[in-house]
A and B are shown apart, each in its own frame.
Chain A
Amino acid sequence: MSTGAMLFMALSWTFVLGLTFWSFSKILKTQRHFDPDGTGPASPPVPPSAPPER
């Protein structure tokens, strides 16, 4: 494989992989409570639970 092809391949892969990792790292860092309908509470609701039966 020629040096030019190797360089071009490395550039291409770095670009697409870099963009993917950058966007997903940003998403994971800035992840908040997802509120699709805009009406939910500021923090995720606590799942309902019942006290264990004795």
Chain B
Amino acid sequence: MAQPTAAPNPNEAVPAATAGGNPNEAWGSRIGLILAMAGNAVGLGNFLRFPGQAAQNGGGSFMIPYFIAFLLLGIPLMWIEWGIGRNGGRYRKGHIPGMFAAIWRHPAAKYLGVVGLVIPLVVLSYYTILMSWTLAFTWFSITGDYWGRTTQEAMSAYLTSYQLIGDDTTHSNWVPFLFYFISLGATIFVLSKGISGGIEKLAKFGMPILFLFAVILAVRVLMLGPGENGVSPIEGFQFIYSPDLSRLGDATVWLAAAGQIFFTLSVGMGTLQTYASYLSTKDDIALSGIATAATNETVEVVLGGSIAIPAAVAFFGVSGAMAVAQSGSFNIGFVSMPIVFQGIPGGQIFGAMWFALLFFAGITSSVAMATPIVAFFREEFGVRRETVAWTVGAVAFTFGILTIFWLQYGMLDEWDYWAGEFGLAVMAFIEVVLFMWIFKPENAWRSLHQGADIRIPTVFKFVMTYVTPLYLGVILVWWAITKAIPILTLEGNKSAGGDIAPGNEIYVHVARLLIVAIIVFFLLMIRMAWKRNGYDDRKGFAVVEDTPLGTPVKEGGAR
């Protein structure tokens, strides 16, 4: 196993003879890298959002556009992000502003990269809150705290009590803060230990547990007999996989499927690129990229689709389960599933496994979110990793506390929409245009094949150049017209979180202003970094490695 190459001061003169990617950090093993990448992609969305989206969009009629989007959007974006990341690593850039500037020698490139710093910070701030709910409910399952609440209404009241909204006063006010503190603290602790010492170790430990728990739960759900409605869990599969061709003409189904593929693979976040920047051009990214995407899809389709919906169908019937799913993805996980667990032998253990599974899915994603910010401050300002990690943690904690207090006013929904939905699509669109159009398809193709263990089918060159940007452009325009503009203007007094009570508009405005403030802050930091290090936008950065981009790719993919 190669040891990380030490580079204590990233601002020192670039050693001309080094031949690797970003030498500030390194992966310890290829399996560790793929597990970390897959852990980044596999998140709460695989087990909660996927069944919710499938239920809301007609089950079988959702799955056909879902797989098409996976082929035309998901896989190409995965390769593009690995390619951008590794190319950035050639110039010792593990952050998006640097990666964009490495591709496009224009002063605007670095500023476009601000999205790759803003999105991770904003998403980290609220994602760790969602993660803390899973940790709390793991504990509540073990202790049987919610036992006895066997109706949707009672369980909903229990959940809202924990969220400090609603009238139920089951929990003390400090409880959610405690679990949030632990969840964020664990995330930052792992992050502070670095790539191979923290993130890779967590992935090697957390991903097998996640798989094991998911398989056990899926098998247990399949063994459930017919519920009071006389419906077996198999009917859940019937719903998900019954191909209803009549809804294929509905544009919203196609957009929902594309959106799900987009979010489940964690593209547009800036994290895959940072992970890939620690590879050299001698390392494969073509096969590793497809392995990461495939692993995520297996977890989502095979495991994620076999737990929540079949279990809910068995307990509440097809129409009851659909009603729950359509009321929100979190209701499936935090309201329906606890009721299911209360109705089966050993329910406390299975409940704990379900929420622990969600926690591991969450933490392997959350640790990835801050890595682009850590890379930025380490590489451009020479700040120690631990210092950046704990500072980012403190900032995220401050925003998180505000989000918990303002949950009922829709702050989390607002941040989730602008950073976690719309922002991801914007970022992905920018990087596809930069990598395939400005960097040029030939260079992109050569770059992807450097060190490749497989040869990517040539049809994907066409897909990545034309189909993927067009697909993304359509999604962006559609979302802008149907959602972003109405939400921005608070049309019908509705924000991203739904209806706004009179007088509560101020919370929405403050949530948005905070995002604007974060954008301005990072723009200033980028400007400072470029000035401080004397970068010339037109000349680009010095290459840290000696592998020329023009090295021909051998047919058959062997290097």
Say yes or no for A50: interface residue by CB 8 A criterion: no
- List residues of chain A with CB within 8 A of the CB of B283: 34-36
Q: What is the minimal beta-carbon distance from A38 to any residue of chain B, in angstroms?
A: 4
With a cutoff of 8 Å between Cβ atoms, the chain B residues found around residue A5 in the complex are 60, 237-238, 241-243
Given the complex, which residues of A lie within 8 Å of B280, measured CB to CB? 35-38
B297 within 8 A of A: yes
Residue in A8, A27, A33 whose CB lies within 8 Å of B63:
A8
Cβ-based interface call for A49 (8 A)? no
Number of residues from B at the complex interface, CB < 8 A: 48
Within 8 A of A (CB), among B292-327: 293-295, 297-298, 301-302
Which one of B22-30, B336-344, B350-358, B418-426 is at the A interface? B22-30
Could you tell me the distance between the alpha carbons of A18 and B301 in the complex, rounded to whole angstroms?
Answer: 13
A16: shortest Cβ distance to chain B, in Å? Answer: 4
Q: How far is the CB of A12 from chain B (nearest CB, A)?
A: 6
Main secondary structure of the interface of A (DSSP, over half): helix
B16 at interface, CB cutoff 8 A = no
- Contact present for A36 and B63 (CB under 8 Å): no
Q: Tell me the total A-B contact number using a CB cutoff of 8 A.
A: 114
Are the C-beta atoms of A36 and B298 separated by less than 8 Å?
Answer: no
A1-33 contacts to B, CB under 8 A, are 1-2, 4-6, 8-9, 12-13, 15-17, 19-20, 22-24, 26-27, 30-31, 33
What is the minimal beta-carbon distance from A9 to any residue of chain B, in angstroms?
4
User: Which residues of B are found within 8 Å of A36, using beta-carbon distances?
Assistant: 2, 4, 20-21, 26-27, 278-280, 283
Please tell me if the beta carbons of B2 and A27 are within 8 angstroms of each other in the complex: no
Q: Measured between C-beta atoms, what is the minimum distance from B91 to chain A in Å?
A: 14
Using known A-B contacts A13-B301, A27-B34, A36-B280, determine if residue A44 contacts B1 with beta carbons closer than 8 Å: yes
B332 to chain A, nearest CB (A): 20
Given contact pairs A15-B67, A34-B30, A36-B21, A9 touches B279 in the complex (Cβ within 8 A)? no
Q: Does B547 contact A (CB under 8 A)?
A: yes
User: Could you tell me if A37 and B4 are in contact, using CB atoms closer than 8 angstroms?
Assistant: yes
B residues apposed to A, CB below 8 Å: 1-2, 4-5, 18-21, 23, 26-27, 29-31, 34, 60, 63, 67, 234-235, 237-238, 240-243, 278-284, 287-288, 290-291, 293-295, 297-298, 301-302, 453-454, 545, 547
Residues of A within 8 A of B (CB): 1-2, 4-6, 8-9, 12-13, 15-17, 19-20, 22-24, 26-27, 30-31, 33-40, 44
